[in-house]
Every structure is written in structure tokens, then in C-alpha cells.
Structure 1
Amino acid sequence: MIDGKKIYFYRIKRGLTQKAACEGICSVSYLSKIENNSITASPEILQLLCGRLDIETSYVSGEFINNLKKEIHDWYEDIKYRNAEDAHRKYEELQIQMNNVDDPDLINLFQVILVRYYIYIEEMNKAKELLVQLTDMKKMYTEEIEFYIFQFTGLYEFLLDNYKTALVYYKRAYGLARTLGVKDHEIIYQLTSITNKLGYFSQSLLYAKTALDAFNAEANYARSIDCHIFLGINYSRLKDFDTARSHYVTALNAANFNPALKRMLPNILHNMGYSYFQAGKYGESLNVLKECLKKRRGINTATTICLIAFNYYMKNEMKEAKQWISKGLNVTDEENITTGYIRLKTLEYKVYELDHTEEYQKFIEEKALPFLEKIQDRLHLIELYEELATYYSNKFLYKQANHYYAAVNQLYKEHL
């Protein structure tokens, strides 16, 4: 069936203006009415427009379209739950089937799920390019397509560490999901993660509790453990260390009980060790963190090593702190800056009592802050802004100190 929506879709796809598409066939105003389905064009004009836009007029049954739509949704489930073999196989099959489709809604659905597939296989440039193309079709979005656009744009921004932008899109997706009656627990989980990253711990706590109930109900044990970890992190930040520990213990028990979930033990142990550190229980923290290192088996060890070094620093055991800082710097890359590297370097300056030097100030301002501001690491930024404010105050450079005090206040205002 050829209607105005299809004419509009293919005109945009071919990159033609209304004037170019209808020249010699009808007026621009007449084409506009066709595209808006406010009039029914004559068969002769539709045939000419289809020829101009290279639209196939062959009939595709409604049953075929409905079955294909179900296959696309099944493909999305495989992507979402990381069923790699099925996701890749269905991608190949659907590509072939979509060659026989000229239904704009179905094409848009396939393309928006393709964005999620590209993100899954870490083809971020392709995902971005397709999101831009879909923006050109905004006039044709169904509410379902808009829901997916918000969600996948949020995921794209989250993976690029653009947490504030990601939060805006995920909140839009969450609102639209409620309107549509869609139950997608991953949205709530992502909101848990993003608000935690931004330091909005009370918000993150509420999302984590909601997500935990949902994942428990569907027996998604891996995601349940993830939620317990986030609950532990949030309660620790809110200084309720006993409740935090209860969630970490629950997560540990669940991971130890299921062999398939033992891979989650290092993450649980690291965060549990950090909770002990926040509570000032440095001995307990060290025991847990060293157990975490054994489980990591040399993979992604920098943050745990850094935290061990901080524990020794807080215990005033400087020899051990220096040894662990050296270990940490050996497994980080100065050229590929990370938050772990920044923490190790700033701790190194403190341990060697060089945090009053110009070298320290340059490292913070020229390397650490640009990186942390880019990834919107709010809590780490507050910490370093405060340190620089103190640094400049001690040197009686009050203008520079006030600049960083103002930056701290701004971040607290954003949180409120």
C-alpha cells in the first residue's frame, strides 16, 4: 500500500526536497498534503511519485510484516540478554528479509534495534551514524520508536561517560515506558547506575530497590547481584555501613552459590573493601581487598591496588603505601589516563609530601581535572576542587582559591 507516510519516508531517504521530488508532477503544497495524509492522491500522481522516488509497488502481506516485527523484537531480546550466537545469526537473517520490505514503520523499527546491535558489538561510530539518520525521520516516529531512540541514545552517551546527557535520555525513556505500559527493567537498572555515577545516591538507592524487586521476580540472579552491589555502594555513601555490608554479604552468598556467577566476586569484594575503608576499618578493608586481588588474577587490578595503598596511607604505614603505589603505577598507562591513575598519582604526591608543590598543582589542573570534567566524575571533582582551593589558600592566592570553592558549590547545587 502506498500512502503519504511512505512517500515522505522515501523522499527523505533519497535526500530530496519536496520541490525536487514533485517537479513536473504536482505542486509542492499538493505533495505536502499527500505526505501528511490530508488528501488521497490520484493513482496517476502516486505512480509518478513512486517512479521519481524509486519506490517498489509490489504487495507485501500484513501477516509477513507482523511476523517480521515479532522477529525483530526477538532479536532485541537476544541483544539485550547478550545471547551472542542468536543475536549475530538473527542479524544476518533479518538483513536479507528486510530487502523485501518497504513499510516505513518496520524499517524504522529494524534500524533503531540495529543501533542497539551496533552498541552491543562496540561499533559506536556506526551506532552514532544511524542515530543521526533516524533523526531525519523524527516526523514519522511512533511512540515505540521514540522510546527506543531515547533509551539507546542514553546508553550510547552512558558508554561515552556522558552521564548527565545519558540521564536526560533515560528519564525520557522511563517516562514513555510508563505511558506505553512497557516493563523494561534494564531502564531502571541503568538509571540506578547513572545516578550512582553522578553521586545522586538517594535517587540511585530508590532505583536500585525497584530494579532489585523486578529482577528477583524474574529470577535474573546476575542483575540481582548487581543491584545488591549498588545498594551497598549507595548505603556506604550515605554512611549506613551496616546495611551496606548486609547487601554485600547477600551478593557474596549468591555468587558463591552459583558457579556461573563466581565471575562477579571481584567486583563485590572490591566494593565491600571500599565500604570498610569509608567506615575507617582499614584492617578489614585490606583483608577483603587482598582477597579481591586473588580473584582478579591480574585483570583490572589498578583500582583495587590503589585502594590498598590508600588504606596503608590512612594507617600511616608509608613504606607499604609506597610499595603499593609503585605496583599500581606499573599496571597503569600514563598516556591512557584513568581515574585509577589519577588517584595513584595524587596519593603519591601526598605520601612523598609533595602535594604543596607546583608540580602537584600542574598535574591536577592540566591532567586530572580535564579528564574528570569530561567524564563528569562529580565526587572526584569535588575532592580535587577542594584540594586546589586549600592549596591556593595556603599560598595566599585567594582569587584562585575562590574560583575552586565556587566550583565546589556549583556541583553541590547541581546535586540539590
Structure 2
Amino acid sequence: MALGLNSVNLHQWEEAEERFYNALNYANKDNSMRSLIYHDLGLLYAEQNMSKAAIHWLTESISGNSPNYKTIYLIAREYYKLGKINEAENWLKKGLNIAQKENLPTYQIRFNLLKVLYTESDKEMTEKTLKEGINHFLNENDWNYVEEYSKYLADYYAANQKYQEAVQYYQLMIKAQNKISELGALK
């Protein structure tokens, strides 16, 4: 499974898919292992914007198990991508409830950001929510999310012809990428 996830990270889609299906063959009746593999297959398809396939495998991964907030996040995101707002918001509510019950502020913020990115028509609210999220991730030194949401905000500013602000957040995105590289470097 780890090799499959590595292949996903490297965008080696066919290799990742093959590794996950091979892992399924070995998992036999180990339902917890199968659930993890189903989740990884869902992630593989989500990363390729194959939302229907992603949703299939992600929902399969939580059938019969207690729902995982990370899986629910991906399901909600894929439904948003398909324009199925009601389904997305149902999943988003489930995920937000879990994140609140388990006191997971990062995922509370991520669920709120997901909703704003796909449904908010108030530009000021979108901007405010993205800035708050980025500040949270900066305070947590969570550079992966700083990178992800800085790009969203930079693209938002560029689309609204606020180029100085766009450059500022593209620079923050690059800083985050550099931090991620530094953290992964051998010391």
C-alpha cells in the first residue's frame, strides 16, 4: 500500500492502481485492510479528477466501518466537483460534526474552506475565510495546507485582478513548497 501511495504522489497512476489492486488480492477477508485500500483507491481517482470512481471507492471504504473524517472530506469534495451540492453538503455536515466532536481544528477549518470554495458567492467572505485558514496553518507550521490554500487565494486574487495580492500569496505558496522540501531533506 505504501508503494501505491508513493506512486500516487509521483502521479504514476497506472502503477498506483496496479499496486492497490494487488494489495486487495492479499487482503482477503481482512476488512480493515480492505477499507484502507478502498480509501487509497478513492484517493487515487480523486487525484486524477475521476470523481465518480473516487466516490465509489471512498464510500466503499467506510461501509460497515465508523466514518473517517478524512474520507468524508474527500467524498464531499468530489461531490462538489460534480456539482452535486446537496450530496456534498450532507457529507460536509457529517465530517464537520466528527471534526468538532474529536476536536480537530485543522479539519474543522478544511471543511469550512471546502464549503466556501465551492458555494460562497460573497467574495469578501471567501477571501476572509481563506486568509483565516492560511493563518491557522501557518501557526501550526502545516506547510502542505499553507501551500494548497495560498494557491487558491492567489488564483482568487488573480481572477479578480488584484495582482499585488496574488503575487503575495504565490510567494507564500513557493515559501511553503520550499519548507516542505527542507523538511523532507536528509540532515
TM-score (norm 1): 0.39
1:399 paired residue among 142, 146, 164: 164
Answer whether contact 1:266 1:295 (CA < 8 A) is retained.
no
Deviation digits for residues 263-295 of structure 1 (CA, Å, limit 9, x no counterpart): 333322212101011122222211111111114
- Greater length-normalized contact order (CA 8 Å, ≥ 6 residues apart): 2
Report the residue type matching 2:172 in the other structure: A
| Ranges in structure 2 where 5+ consecutive residues have no aligned partner | 183-187
Q: Give the alignment of 1:186-335 within 5 angstroms.
A: 228=1, 230-257=2-29, 259=30, 262-298=31-67, 301-333=68-100
CA pair 270-338 structure 1, distance change in 2 beyond 3 A: farther
Report the residue type matching 1:303 in the other structure: K
- Shift of residue 385 of structure 1? 0.6
- SS for the counterpart of 2:100 is coil
CA pair 331-403 structure 1, distance change in 2 beyond 3 A: same
Report the residue type matching 2:118 in the other structure: V
Answer whether contact 2:117 2:126 (CA < 8 A) is retained.
no
- Shift of residue 382 of structure 1? 1.6
Distance (Å, rounded) in 1 between the aligned partners of 2:24 and 2:49: 22
Q: Which residue of 1 aligns with 2:119?
A: 352
Distance (Å, rounded) in 2 between the aligned partners of 1:272 and 1:391: 30
- SS for the counterpart of 2:63 is helix
| Ranges in structure 1 where 5+ consecutive residues have no aligned partner | 1-227
Q: Give the alignment of 1:92-171 within 5 angstroms.
A: none
- Shift of residue 333 of structure 1? 1.1
CA pair 254-339 structure 1, distance change in 2 beyond 3 A: farther
Answer whether contact 1:334 1:341 (CA < 8 A) is retained.
no
Distance (Å, rounded) in 2 between the aligned partners of 1:270 and 1:345: 22
CA pair 248-338 structure 1, distance change in 2 beyond 3 A: farther
CA pair 403-335 structure 1, distance change in 2 beyond 3 A: farther
Distance (Å, rounded) in 2 between the aligned partners of 1:284 and 1:270: 11
Q: Which residue of 2 aligns with 1:342?
A: 109
- SS for the counterpart of 2:28 is helix
Answer whether contact 2:158 2:166 (CA < 8 A) is retained.
yes
Distance (Å, rounded) in 2 between the aligned partners of 1:374 and 1:267: 30
Distance (Å, rounded) in 1 between the aligned partners of 2:170 and 2:101: 28
Deviation digits for residues 121-170 of structure 1 (CA, Å, limit 9, x no counterpart): xxxxxxxxxxxxxxxxxxxxxxxxxxxxxxxxxxxxxxxxxxxxxxxxxx
Q: Which residue of 2 aligns with 1:364?
A: 130
Answer whether contact 1:322 1:351 (CA < 8 A) is retained.
no
Distance (Å, rounded) in 1 between the aligned partners of 2:3 and 2:65: 22
Report the residue type matching 2:165 in the other structure: Q
Aligned residues: 181
Q: Give the alignment of 1:42-81 within 5 angstroms.
A: none
Aligned alpha-carbon RMSD (Å): 2.6
Report the residue type matching 2:153 in the other structure: L
| Aligned structure 1 segments of 4 or more residues deviating by more than 4 angstroms | none
Answer whether contact 2:96 2:107 (CA < 8 A) is retained.
no
Distance (Å, rounded) in 1 between the aligned partners of 2:159 and 2:101: 29
Distance (Å, rounded) in 1 between the aligned partners of 2:117 and 2:172: 23
Distance (Å, rounded) in 1 between the aligned partners of 2:22 and 2:107: 27
Looking at CA atoms only, which structure, 1 or 2, has the larger radius of gyration? 1
CA pair 242-401 structure 1, distance change in 2 beyond 3 A: same
TM-score (norm 2): 0.80
Distance (Å, rounded) in 2 between the aligned partners of 1:292 and 1:252: 12
